[in-house]
Amino acid sequence: MTSPARAPQKRLFVKTWGCQMNVYDSARMADVLAPLGYAPVETPEDADMVILNTCHIREKASEKLFSELGRLRAQKEATGGRMVLAVAGCVAQAEGAEITARAPFVDIVLGPQSYHRLPEMVARASRAAGAVIETEFPTEEKFDHLPEVSAPQGPIAFLTIQEGCDKFCSFCVVPYTRGAEYSRPAAAVIAEAKRLVAQGAREIALLGQNVNAYHGEGPDGVTWSLGRLLRELAGIEGLGRLRYTTSHPRDMDDDLIAAHGEIPALMPFLHLPVQSGSDRVLKMMNRGHAAADFLRIVDRLRAARPDIALSSDFIAGHPGETEEDHQATLRLIEQVGFAQAFSFKYSSRPGTPASAAPLHVPEAEKDRRLQEIQALLRDQQVAFNRSRLGMRIAVLFTGPGRHPGQVAGRSPWLQPVHAEGGAELAGRILPCEVVATHPNSLAARILELPFGEARSGDPPNQEKAAA
């Protein structure tokens, strides 16, 4: 007796721009489409459906999108129009009408809070004459309807716990494209974290546009802070490491700062954007904190966890920024000392307060200021990496390195690490000695020493291993 023929599998290609939350969203879009028979492929040429998951934070986001759509139009026409073309993410949220006007061959336009509706939208697109558009903000509904089963992410997994932002910084589009702050219930986060660990995750990074503003309902009916959630997650059997990103200085409360000293699994690395070292510019940015406030937070974090390393964001040339303001930023960078950081020229985002502000800084001046900021940050990153030379550290190995016989991983401070070894080490947290440093990575030698894998990265363990 012959078995019934299986329906041909459909092929899905997702291109992602922007932050790690967009990467997470892209993975969940693939998850919700899997029951329809869609399986991921590596190139759009092989796909029956293409999703462009966009980010509005990066410069020239719209231009990049329309350039990509121009390339995909010919491919869609070559399939007789059968290929489904979708635009998702923050650019879709902000510019849905323009997308359908300039690219009428796009089938689906969906904002970041609507991707749980993709199966329905695909069905509607097959019947509709024009584009199917979903750009509302049903945040709670999205998380309620996401499938529990998801594709394994590997030794390092990402988990969205919070979306949106209520801060309304002058330069930022997130409140307009992601909506108001919303925190997932703690029980849902814990359940997803356990599933990720069961799939092989050893490290989980909690994601949110303003992740330390987390205020999800706990199983006990009480609102949980991020510190409380981290303490609960740290007890999951098999989970070795925790991180969270991205944070706002205004939400670094006492409990969260204390958590850095009390939770061994919480890695000694924090990305905490400050944007400027000038109080005048910080006020224009509507950041809600002064440079001195940021410095006090840094001091308290280092008191709680002496080996903590910091990363940050800086904007050069915000409208109204003077040379004196720029120098204040350089002084703050020198005073703090960052392990790494991201820096950008100010780029206007339509609809944001800064875009309509007077006194825009000339492009050449923004370039000069950015180069000075980046040179200082680059020197600090090189110095931080060099300070790891000879140190015994815990490394979470994630898979093959760039060269044969090499395995790659991450240090407690998020630095890429490579060592001699095989791919079978992926998922293991092992003691290593740093034998060489590079501007962006470390080279290490794996040590055969007893080391608490479940809680590697804990400073007392590292000191004991090094003794």
- Residues 145 and 138: beta-carbon distance below 8 Å: no
CATH value at residue 423:
2.40.50.140
Query: Are residue 192 and residue 340 in the same domain, yes or no?
Result: yes
State which of 334, 359, 385 marks the end of a domain.
385
Longest dimension (CA), the chain: 83
Q: Which tokens is 145 given?
A: 């309807």
Cis peptide before 398 (omega within 30 of 0): no
| CA 318, 323, 328, 330 torsion-angle sign | positive
CATH value at residue 113:
3.40.50.12160
| CA 223, 225, 228, 229 torsion-angle sign | positive
Q: pTM of the prediction? A: 0.78
Query: Are residue 235 and residue 345 in the same domain, yes or no?
Result: yes
User: What's the whole-number mean pLDDT along residues 123-135?
Assistant: 75
CA–CA gap between residue 278 and residue 374 (Å, rounded): 17
Write phi, then psi, for 197 (nearest 5 degrees). Answer: -65, -40
Query: Are residue 361 and residue 221 in the same domain, yes or no?
Result: yes
Point out the annotated binding site. Answer: 19, 55, 90, 165, 169, 172
- pLDDT digits 0-9 by tens, 107-121: 999 888 778 788 888
Q: Which tokens is 23 given?
A: 């990467």
Query: Are residue 169 and residue 128 in the same domain, yes or no?
Result: no
Query: Are residue 179 and residue 271 in the same domain, yes or no?
Result: yes
Label residue 59 by pLDDT band (50, 70, 90): low
Mean of the per-residue pLDDT values of the chain:
88
- Residues 380 and 350: beta-carbon distance below 8 Å: no
SS3 content of the chain, % helix, strand, coil (to 5): 40, 20, 40
State which of 121, 137, 153 marks the end of a domain.
137
Query: Are residue 123 and residue 211 in the same domain, yes or no?
Result: no
CA–CA gap between residue 157 and residue 148 (Å, rounded): 15
Task: Determine which helix (DSSP H) or strand (DSSP E) holds 315, and give its type and residue range.
Answer: strand 309-316
CA–CA gap between residue 42 and residue 407 (Å, rounded): 23
Domain assignment present for 1: no
Query: Are residue 443 and residue 330 in the same domain, yes or no?
Result: no
Query: Are residue 128 and residue 160 in the same domain, yes or no?
Result: no
State which of 385, 408, 426 marks the end of a domain.
385
Please state, in angstroms and as integers, the Cα–Cα distance from residue 107 to each residue in 39, 64, 86, 131, following that order: 19, 19, 6, 5
Beta bridge partners of 156: 203
CA–CA gap between residue 275 and residue 182 (Å, rounded): 24
User: What's the whole-number mean pLDDT along residues 80-101?
Assistant: 86
Helices (H), 49-102: 61-78, 90-102
Query: Are residue 350 and residue 280 in the same domain, yes or no?
Result: yes
User: What's the whole-number mean pLDDT along residues 284-313?
Assistant: 98
Inform me whether the pLDDT recorded for 136 exceeds 50. yes
Write phi, then psi, for 347 (nearest 5 degrees). Answer: -130, 125
Domain assignment present for 4: no
| CA 447, 453, 459, 461 torsion-angle sign | negative
Beta bridge partners of 341: 312
Domain assignment present for 25: yes
Measured at the CA of 78, the angle between CA 76 and CA 80, to 5 degrees, comes to 75
- pLDDT digits 0-9 by tens, 318-369: 999 999 999 999 999 999 999 999 999 998 887 789 988 889 999 999 999 9
As for how many domains the chain has, the answer is 3
CATH value at residue 163:
3.80.30.20
* Pairwise pLDDT comparison (292 vs 466), residue with the higher score: 292
Inform me whether the pLDDT recorded for 309 exceeds 70. yes
CA–CA gap between residue 257 and residue 298 (Å, rounded): 10
- Residues 21 and 244: beta-carbon distance below 8 Å: no
Residue 248, pLDDT score: 97
Point out the annotated binding site for [4Fe-4S] cluster. Answer: 19, 55, 90, 165, 169, 172
CA–CA gap between residue 304 and residue 298 (Å, rounded): 10
Range of the domain at 286: 142-385
Residue 461, pLDDT score: 39
Query: Are residue 206 and residue 89 in the same domain, yes or no?
Result: no
Inform me whether the pLDDT recorded for 131 exceeds 80. no
Residue 459, pLDDT score: 38
Query: Are residue 263 and residue 158 in the same domain, yes or no?
Result: yes
Residue 5, pLDDT score: 41
- Residues 306 and 459: beta-carbon distance below 8 Å: yes
